[in-house]
Structure 1
Amino acid sequence: MGGDVDGYGDLIAAEDVLLFVNAAITATGQREFHAGAAEQQLSLSFLHAYMLGNYREPYAAALALDINDHNAALIIRGLLESAAEATAEQRRTEGRLIARRLALLPPQRVYRLFGELRRAKVNNRRTRAILREWLAARPDQTLDAVKYRAGLKQALRHAHLPAAAAETGAFLFGPAARGRFEAPLLDAWRRAHYQQSALYELPYTVAEGFARTHRIPRATFLERITPQLTRLERLRLQESARGAGVDSVRADAVELGRMPLTRLASYVLGLAPADRLARRTELTAALRTAARRAAGAEAGQWGRVAAVLDDSFSSSGSGAKRRRPLAVALACHFLLEALAGRYTGLWTSGRTDALLARPTGPTPLGRRILDALDTAPDRLLIVSDGWDNAPPGLAAEVLRVWRTRLDPDHRTSIVHLNPVYDAEGFDVRRLAPTVPTAGLRDAEDLPALVEFARFAEGRTDLTELTAHLAARTARFLAGPGSPAGRTTGANSEPGEDT
Structure 2
Amino acid sequence: MADLIAADDVLLFVNAAITSTGQREFHSGAEEQGLSLGFLHRYLLVNYRDLYAATLALDINDHNAALIVRNLLVTAAEADAEQRRAEGRLIARRLELLPPQRVYALFRELRRARVNNRRTRAIMRDWLAARPDPAFDAVKYRGAVKDAVRHAHLRPDGELGPFLFAFRRPAAYTTPILETWRRAHYDQTALYALPYTVAEGFAAKHRIPRAAFLERIAPRLTRLERLRLQESARERGAGAVRADLTTMPLTRLASYVLGLSLDERARRRGELTEALRASARRTAGDQAGRWGRVVAVLDDSFSSYGSGTKRRRPLAVALACHFLLEALAADYAPLWLSGRDDALLVHPYGATPLGERVLDGLDLGPDRLVIVSDGWDNAPPGLAGEVLRVWRTRLDPGHTCGVVHLNPVYDAGGFDVRRLTPVVPTAGIRDAEDLVALTELARFAEGRTGLPELRAHLDRRVAAFLGEDT
TM-score after normalising by structure 2? 0.98
Q: Which moved more, 1:14-23 or 1:204-213?
A: 204-213
Q: What is the correspondence of 1:160-199 to structure 2 with a 5 Å cutoff? A: 160-163=153-156, 165-174=157-166, 176-199=168-191
Q: Take 1:174 and 1:352, find their aligned partners in 2: how far apart are those partners?
A: 63
Match of 2:420 in 1: 431
The one-letter amino acid paired with 1:38 is E
Structure 2 residue corresponding to 1:241, chosen from 228, 233, 240 = 233
User: 5 Å matches for 1:168-317?
Assistant: 168-174=160-166, 176-251=168-243, 255-317=244-306
1:162 and 1:272 mapped to 2: Cα distance?
A: 52
Provide the secondary structure at the position in 1 that maps to 2:466: helix
SS at match of 2:371: strand
Letter in 1 for 2:257: V
Within 5 Å, give how 1:105-184 maps onto structure 2: 105-163=98-156, 165-174=157-166, 176-184=168-176
Separation of aligned partners in 2, 1:440 and 1:257: 23
Equivalent in the alignment of 2:32 = 39
Segments of structure 2 that go 5 or more residues without pairing to the other structure are none
What residue identity is the alignment partner of 1:213? K
For 2:166 and 2:266, the matched residues in 1 are separated by 54
For residues 75 and 470 of structure 1, the distance between their equivalents in structure 2, rounded to whole angstroms, comes to: 18
Q: Which residue, 312, 319, 331 being the options, matches 1:342?
A: 331
Q: Distance in 1 between matches of 2:169 and 2:223?
A: 36
Greater shift in the superposed pair: 203-212 or 301-310? 203-212
Which 4+ residue blocks in structure 1 deviate beyond 4 angstroms? none
- Write the distance in 2 (CA, Å) between the matches of 1:112 and 1:374: 50
Give the letter aligned to residue 221 of structure 2. Answer: L
> 2:174 corresponds to which letter in structure 1?
E
* Structure 1 residue corresponding to 2:389, chosen from 389, 392, 400: 400
Residue 59 of structure 1 is aligned with which of 38, 52, 57? 52
What is the CA distance between 1:385 and its match in structure 2? 0.3
Partner of 2:86: 93
Q: Distance in 2 between matches of 1:126 and 1:10?
A: 32
Name the CA distance, whole Å, in 2 between partners of 1:175 and 1:438.
53
Quick one: percent identity of the two aligned structures?
73
Residue 380 of structure 1 aligns to a residue in which SS? strand
Of residues 396, 414, 417, the one that matches 2:403 is 414
Question: Cα offset for 1:316?
Answer: 0.6
Instruction: For 1:265, give the aligned amino acid.
Output: A
CA apart distance, 1:479: 6.9
Residue 177 of structure 1 aligns to a residue in which SS? Answer: coil
1:467 to 438, 446, 456: 456
Give how far 1:460 is off: 2.7
The amino acid that maps onto 1:65 is L
Structure 2 residue identity aligned to 1:51: L
Going from structure 1 to structure 2, the CA distance change for 1:204 and 1:304 (only over 3 Å counts) comes to: same
| Post-superposition offset of 1:272 | 1.2
Q: Say yes or no: does 1:328 pair with 2:317.
A: yes
User: Within 2, Cα distance between the matches of 1:86 and 1:92?
Assistant: 10
The offset of 1:176, in angstroms, is 3.5
Give the letter aligned to residue 161 of structure 1: L
Describe the shift of the 1:120–1:471 C-alpha distance in structure 2 as closer, same or farther (beyond 3 A): same
Q: Distance in 1 between matches of 2:437 and 2:137?
A: 33
SS class of match (1:186): helix
Of 362, 376, 381, 2:365 maps to 376
Q: CA deviation at 1:177?
A: 2.2
Q: Give 3-state SS (helix, strand or coil) of 2:414's partner.
A: coil
2:352 equivalent to 1:359: no
Please give the alpha-carbon distance, in whole angstroms, between the structure 1 residues aligned to 2:399 and 2:169.
72
The one-letter code of the counterpart of 2:177 is: L
Tell me by how many angstroms 1:175 deviates.
6.6
Amino acid at match of 2:182: R
- Please state how far the C-alpha of 1:355 moved relative to its aligned partner: 0.6
Structure 1 gaps of 5+ residues are 1-7, 481-498
Match status 1:28 vs 2:21: yes
- Shift in Å, 1:245: 2.1
Higher mean C-alpha deviation, range 173-182 or range 388-397: 173-182
Please tell me the residue identity of whatever aligns with 1:461: G
**Distance in 2 between residues matched to 1:202 and 1:156, nearest whole Å:** 22
Distance (Å, rounded) in 2 between the aligned partners of 1:350 and 1:229? 40
Q: Give the alignment's TM-score, normalised by structure 1.
A: 0.93
Task: Give the partner amino acid of 1:194.
Answer: Y
Q: Is 1:447 matched with 2:436?
A: yes
Deviates more, 1:412-421 or 1:208-217: 208-217
Whole-Å separation in 1 of the counterparts to 2:468 and 2:25: 34
Aligned residues: 469
Larger RCO: Structure 1 or Structure 2 (Cα < 8 Å, ≥ 6 residues apart)?
1
Distance 2:295 2:195 in 1: 44
Q: CA deviation at 1:417?
A: 0.1
The CA deviation string for residues 200-259 of structure 1, in whole angstroms up to 9 with x for no partner, is 1111111111112222221111111111111110111011111222222112xxx21111
1:495 corresponds to: none
Distance in 2 (alpha carbons) for counterparts of 1:307 and 1:240 = 34
